[in-house]
Copies of this chain bind each other. A is one copy, B any other.
Amino acid sequence: MEKLNDIIFYSIEKSIKTYRQFAQKNISKAGIEITIDQWLVLKTIEEDNSISQKDIATKTFKDVASITRIIELLVQKGYLSRNLKSQDRRRFDLTLTKEGNTIIDKMQPYIQINRTQALKNITDEEIKNLHSILSRITANIS
């Protein structure tokens, strides 16, 4: 086999895994008790509180089954309230609680710092480039 590092998919995987670990470690170190994935789902609901779980899944590149379980944890932790929608009883009304809003606010600066540090010496041009290439790869296999 070609050298692992020469294979672009390993580079991609390595960077995203490293970023996730880095981000999670900073959050945990700050004493915030939430996972990156839980935050992502919470943030998605905050932005659009009429969104369906199916659409949360699509938006976060996750599976609907994972979303069900993550939401369950967010409800347990008291960050989210979940109630059947009267208009469509297959779906749920998802609303952030006060604690949910608080944790989102608390997270914001860390998210910012994480991104800034990760992209320290990368130009806007390069980011645009990265986007372009990655989206073509994604399109090729979708």
Contacts and interface: CB of A to CB of B under 8 A. Distances in A.
Interface string A110-142: 000011011111100011011101111110111
B8 A131 contact: yes
Given A47-B1, A61-B17, A11 B141 contact: no
A76 B96 CA distance: 45
A59 interface: yes
A15 B136 CA distance: 9
Contacts of A126: 129, 133
Contacts of A117: 140-141
Most buried by B among A22, A61, A137: A137
Interface string A81-116: 000000000000000000000000000000000110
A61 to B, nearest CB: 5
Given A18-B141, A119-B140, A140-B121, A135 B1 contact: no
Interface of A: 1, 4, 7-19, 22, 43, 47, 59, 61, 114-115, 117-122, 126-127, 129-131, 133-138, 140-142
9 contacts: A8-B130, A9-B16, A14-B134, A14-B138, A17-B61, A18-B138, A22-B141, A118-B137, A130-B130
